[in-house]
Structure 1
Amino acid sequence: MALAAAGGCSSLSPTQRAAANTVAAAHDSYIAGDYPRTIQLLRNSNAVEDGDRPTQIEAHKLMAFSYCVTNRVAQCRAEFEAILRLDPHFELTAAEKGHPIWGPAFDAARRKVAPS
């Protein structure tokens, strides 16, 4: 997963830096397999609202993956929809697309958000 550099990026405002730090902590929880904590960190923070666009996208992606692996596919899909509203051209990596849960959830979100 791409992760915005939280530490030394001076172009981030203090609130954006705090959001990036929260996403970094959530990423650590995700890597450790603590998916409920990943969701909790992001839901109980302003990371999604206060972050710059890459940080917002990363927050939604971490929540999407965490929801999917905890069998909450509707919430997973909703997070992917949020990503696609931020960036209509967002794509999962080739490895991520092949995942049996979030690959199809992402495709469903794309169909729902895509202009007709």
Structure 2
Amino acid sequence: MSAWARHARWLTVPALLALVACQSGPTRPGVDPGAPPVLTSATPTAAAAPASPPPAAPVALPAAEQALAQGVRSYQGGKYAMAEVQLKLALKEGLAASADRASAHKHLAFIYCTSQREKLCLDAFKAARAADPAFALSKTESGHPMWARTYQRAMAETRPRAARKTAR
């Protein structure tokens, strides 16, 4: 017998009904009595909320694009060795978009330059230009002291012949 039932047997029927009426509402198994009431169709509401569409299934990126995204995140997180592996994998898997290939080469160039691998840095910048002829670093990126000279050299060496002759 519960503690409440032991005490309730000494109460009169009117007192017992008053105690039951003081409860916060009917209790149901698995329902928190302190929780706010659940609105049902019988309960009037100010405005019915429109049903939200089910969440869209995530679109799976191809392996190359996943590796590129992971490589860029790793680079931004300062995990350069991991970023280098992921970016190389992205290129090996075959990135479809020329801008993505250029981005992978650009981030590899940054890694190579900051780890004093100048030849690889130069080649990576050249590969970025070869992947996307419109490739160029932003003003902030191009002025970075670790790779500014190497970048300028790579861009000068990959400029079309006609443009190189007029630049002399």
What letter corresponds to residue 48 of structure 1 in structure 2?
A: L
Q: Which has the higher contact order (CA 8 A, sep 6+)?
A: 1
Alignment of 1:21-100 (within 5 A): 21-43=66-88, 45=89, 47-49=90-92, 50-51=94-95, 52-100=97-145
Paired position in structure 2 for 1:4: none
How many residue pairs match? The answer is 102
Q: Is the contact made by 1:35 and 1:70 (CA closer than 8 Å) also made in structure 2?
A: no
Q: Matched residues in 2 for 1:97 and 1:53: separation? A: 20
Unaligned runs of 5+ residues in structure 2 are 1-57, 162-168
Cα RMSD for the two superposed structures:
1.8
TM-score, with structure 2 as normaliser: 0.55
Shift of 1:88: 2.3
Q: Matched residues in 2 for 1:101 and 1:89: separation? A: 22
Which digits, 9 at most, give the CA deviation of each residue in 1:14-42, with x for residues without a partner? 6xx21111011111111111112111222
Larger helix percent:
1
Unaligned runs of 5+ residues in structure 1 are 1-6
Q: Matched residues in 2 for 1:57 and 1:32: separation? A: 20
List 4+ stretches of structure 1 deviating above 6 A: none
Q: Percent identity?
A: 30
- Asked which structure has the greater CA Rg, the reply is 2
Q: Is the contact made by 1:68 and 1:76 (CA closer than 8 Å) also made in structure 2?
A: yes
